[in-house]
């Protein structure tokens, strides 16, 4: 007679894995209900969605055929929901979008659980996954994160099982979700190639993977090429100058050393979104380092299950990609999920190795896992509170209000506005936006290539009717720039909630709110203004 495996559900007891599937949908739903956060960029894509629904073209601004959104799926789903419910109300559409996103995350966890065969693996990976604040935030605030995670997990599952055709379908879905979807599936394919020797020379299978992906994605690629004149989204062209600096290339060279004894983008992946603005414990980055090291340990320890090691290698390869892309928090969640799958495999291997060591080592492992999940839960609650206040004070209190006021004060929809935060202000004003870095304005991209990069240089060159600046952006101007700007524009209105932000007794990540707490609205001097707001 053999001893029972404590890492597996005892025979005869019902399998309660469905509880984690339900929690995979419930946790982000709770986050959304508590924070009600709507991502700034959702309103960029939603403006495109509504123009499509109302027959103005799949564009941000009618009459300007420009590929302003990054995710086809993330823009088509809100368009479909708007048409289905016959409403333009963003609140109705975002709530329906959240339901779809929660269902996608539940499906992703169901796929993952099928390859996390031990109870320890499911408990650790599930606890970290379900309580991850970035995954919950960017899945429910209008970002396409949940759908990307679903495709990435499907690709992981398919490659772990050796099903290259299903992996091809996952690649096609990932490309519909993000134009860099191939990076995620490519990292997983490289991992499977390393750990599954029987797949290495299956040229027919790899060809089928590419063929199915192309078959699924080609209709969009050809249509976008015909409609926009290029298969590459203008958002990528506008941001293209960010990637490829010498500093980023040096980061690739030093990445292996920093992975063990320094700080990398992978460590930042597990921190709260917008951690870099301040207001969180200074040494919280060590939390991310511990998870990264645990994923690395899973890769290096052959005793870990092969699916977990495949996820871990892909996670490490993702770290190289994150080193050369902007460290925006919405780029992290799908890589984080792969990291959690690797850490879950490590926990299962440790539990199995400690079976013969007595109760205390096993209890110690359980205690460490419980502490890790508790830390994740604390971050989940803290970020939900932070984003609730950000939504109330900044999004509704400043940016949406500014956009509505602009709509009222403008002479018509042809009025032009130069600014950086394009979403809320662009949507609620309905005006012609000229943003930096130029997501919806090729004029700005052209000026930046000419060497005009400061807010003053760009606004004066564009001669827009309105300019929206953060107070910090105005203060950053040189004396000469400020004088030139002052001759062309006059201050029209001010939006300042710094006192409310500063007076909050408890506010994790306060620096993020303070960054957007003070905006200045400027009107071009000499324009015919219908009425003064004061």
pLDDT of residue 355 exceeding 90:
no
Q: Please answer whether residues 340 and 348 qualify as being in contact, where contact means their C-beta atoms are separated by less than 8 angstroms.
A: no
Rounded distance, CA 449 to CA 461, Å? 13
pLDDT score, position 7 = 39
Q: Of 176, 71, 117, 495, whose CA–CA distance to 341 is shortest?
A: 117
Answer for the pair 79, 57: CB distance below 8 angstroms, yes or no. Answer: no
Q: Residue 168: what pLDDT?
A: 97
Segment 457-485 shows an average pLDDT of 95
For the ranges 382-386, 497-501, 530-534, the lowest mean pLDDT is seen at 530-534
- pLDDT for 241: 54
Contact 133, 273 (CB under 8 A): yes
Whole-number percent of the chain with pLDDT over 70: 94
- Asked if 118 contacts 352 with a C-beta cutoff of 8 angstroms, the reply is yes
Percentage of the chain surpassing pLDDT 90? 82
Which pLDDT band, with edges at 50, 70 and 90, does 200 fall under? confident
**Confidence grade of residue 428 (pLDDT, cut at 50, 70, 90):** very high
How far apart, in whole angstroms, are the C-alpha atoms of residue 308 and residue 298? 7
User: Could you tell me if 145 and 190 are in contact, meaning their C-beta atoms sit under 8 angstroms apart?
Assistant: no
Average pLDDT over residues 394-419: 97
Q: Which residues contact 440 (CB under 8 A, 6 or more apart)?
A: 44, 60, 61, 64, 66, 68, 234, 422, 426, 433, 434
> What does the alpha-carbon distance between residue 468 and residue 418 come to, in Å, rounded to a whole number?
6
Res 279 pLDDT > 70 = yes
Q: Is 495 helix (H, G, I), strand (E, B) or coil?
A: strand
Residue 360 has pLDDT above 70, yes or no: yes
**Residue 99: Cβ-neighbour burial (10 angstroms; 0-12, 13-18, 19+):** middle
Average pLDDT over residues 447-455: 91
Q: What is the mean pLDDT of residues 234-262?
A: 77
Residue 243, SS3? coil
Q: What is the pLDDT of residues 475-513, one digit of tens each?
A: 999 999 999 999 999 999 999 999 999 999 999 999 999
Contact present, 174 and 203 (Cβ < 8 Å): no
Phi, psi of 469, deg, nearest 5: -130, 140
- Within 10 angstroms of residue 410's Cβ, the number of other Cβ atoms is 21
- Residue 36's pLDDT is 95
**Count of CB atoms within 10 A of residue 240's CB?**
12
Can you tell me the mean pLDDT for 425-434? Answer: 97
**Predicted local distance difference test score (pLDDT) of residue 238:** 83
User: Which pLDDT belongs to residue 527?
Assistant: 58
Residue 514, CB-side half-sphere exposure with 13 Å CA sphere? 14
**Distance in angstroms (rounded) separating the CA atoms of residues 37 and 424:** 12
Whether the CB-CB separation of 170 and 155 falls below 8 Å is answered with: yes
Q: Which two tokens stand for residue 347?
A: 């926990």
As a whole number, mean pLDDT of residues 32-55 equals: 97
pLDDT score recorded for residue 196: 92
Contact partners, residue 390, CB within 8 Å, separation at least 6: 37, 512, 513, 516
pLDDT for residue 70? 93
Please tell me the predicted confidence (pLDDT) of residue 480: 93
Looking at residue 359, its pLDDT comes to 83
* pLDDT exceeds cutoff 50 at 432: yes
Segment 72-116, tens digit of pLDDT: 999 999 999 999 999 999 999 999 999 999 999 999 999 999 888
Tell whether the model's pLDDT for residue 11 goes beyond 60: no
pLDDT at 143: 96
Q: Three-class SS of residue 419? A: strand
Tell me what the mean pLDDT of segment 8-16 comes to.
Answer: 44
The pLDDT, as a whole number, for residue 29 is 97
User: What is the largest distance, in Å, between two alpha-carbon atoms of the chain?
Assistant: 92
Distance CA 200, CA 323 (A): 28
CA–CA distance, 41 with 74 (Å, rounded to integer): 11
Whether the predicted pLDDT of 534 surpasses 50: no
19: confidence class by pLDDT, cuts 50, 70, 90: confident
**What number is the average pLDDT over the span 392-397?**
98
Average pLDDT over residues 517-534: 75
Token digits of residue 178: 């993000």
Beta strand 489-496 pairing with 432-435: unpaired
Q: What is the DSSP annotation of 287-356?
A: HHHHHHHHHHHHHH-TTS-HHHHHHHHHHHHHHHHHHTS---GGGSHHHHHHHHHHHHHHHHHHHHHTGG
In the sheet that holds 466-470, the strands lie side by side as 432-435, 416-419, 466-470, 518-524, 489-496
pLDDT tens figures, 281-290: 989 999 999 9
pLDDT for the residue numbered 5: 38
pLDDT of residue 16: 57
Q: What is the mean pLDDT of the chain?
A: 92
How far the first Cα of the chain sits from its last, in Å, is 86
In tens, the pLDDT along 304-347 reads 999 999 999 999 999 999 998 888 899 999 999 999 999 999 99
Contact 332, 275 (CB under 8 A): no
For the segment 509-527, the average pLDDT, to the nearest whole number, is 94
């Amino acid at each position: 007679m053999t001893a029972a495996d404590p890492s597996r559900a005892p025979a005869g007891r019902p399998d309660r894995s469905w509880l984690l599937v339900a929690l995979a949908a419930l946790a982000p739903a709770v986050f959304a209900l508590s924070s009600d956060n709507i991502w700034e960029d959702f309103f960029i894509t939603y403006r495109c969605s509504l123009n499509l629904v109302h027959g103005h073209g799949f564009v941000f601004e009618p009459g300007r055929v420009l590929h302003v959104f990054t995710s086809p799926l993330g823009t088509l789903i809100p368009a479909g929901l708007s048409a289905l419910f016959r409403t333009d109300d963003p609140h109705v559409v975002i709530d329906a979008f959240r339901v779809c996103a929660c269902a996608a995350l539940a499906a992703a966890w169901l796929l993952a659980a099928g390859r996390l065969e031990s109870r320890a693996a499911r408990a650790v990976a599930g606890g970290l996954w379900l309580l991850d604040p970035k995954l919950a935030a960017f899945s429910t605030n209008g970002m396409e994160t949940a759908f990307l995670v679903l495709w990435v997990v499907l690709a992981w599952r398919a490659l772990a099982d050796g099903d290259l055709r299903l992996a091809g379908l996952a690649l096609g879905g990932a490309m519909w979700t993000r134009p860099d979807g191939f990076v995620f599936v490519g990292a997983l394919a490289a991992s499977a190639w390393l750990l599954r020797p029987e797949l290495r020379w299956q040229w027919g299978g790899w060809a089928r993977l590419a063929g199915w992906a192309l078959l699924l994605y080609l209709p969009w690629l050809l249509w976008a090429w015909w409609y926009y004149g290029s298969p590459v989204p203008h958002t990528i062209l506008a941001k293209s100058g960010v990637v490829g600096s010498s500093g980023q290339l040096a980061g690739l060279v030093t990445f292996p050393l920093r992975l063990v004894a320094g700080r990398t983008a992978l460590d930042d992946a597990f921190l709260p979104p917008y951690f870099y603005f301040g207001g969180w414990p200074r040494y919280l980055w060590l939390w991310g380092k511990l998870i990264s090291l645990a994923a690395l340990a899973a890769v290096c320890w052959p005793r870990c299950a092969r699916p977990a090691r495949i996820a871990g290698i892909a996670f490490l390869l993702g770290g190289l990609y994150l080193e050369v892309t902007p460290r925006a928090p919405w780029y992290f969640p799908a890589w984080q999920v792969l990291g959690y799958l690797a850490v879950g495999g490590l926990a299962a291997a440790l539990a199995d190795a400690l079976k013969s060591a007595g109760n205390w080592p096993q209890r110690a492992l359980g205690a460490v896992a419980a502490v890790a999940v508790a830390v994740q839960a604390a971050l989940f609650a803290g970020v939900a509170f932070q984003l609730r206040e950000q939504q109330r004070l900044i999004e509704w209190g400043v940016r949406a209000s500014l956009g509505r006021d602009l709509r009222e004060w403008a002479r018509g929809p042809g009025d032009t506005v130069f600014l950086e935060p394009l979403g809320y202000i662009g949507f609620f004003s309905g005006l012609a936006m000229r943003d930096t870095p130029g997501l919806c304005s090729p004029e700005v991209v052209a000026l930046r290539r000419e060497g005009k990069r400061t807010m003053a240089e760009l606004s004066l060159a564009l001669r827009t009717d309105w300019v929206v600046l953060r107070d910090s952006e105005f203060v950053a101007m040189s004396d000469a720039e400020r004088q030139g700007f002052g001759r062309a524009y006059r201050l029209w209105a001010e939006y300042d909630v710094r006192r409310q932000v500063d007076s909050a007794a408890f506010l994790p990540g306060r620096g993020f709110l303070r960054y957007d707490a003070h905006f200045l609205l400027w009107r071009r001097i000499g324009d015919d203004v219908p009425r003064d707001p004061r």
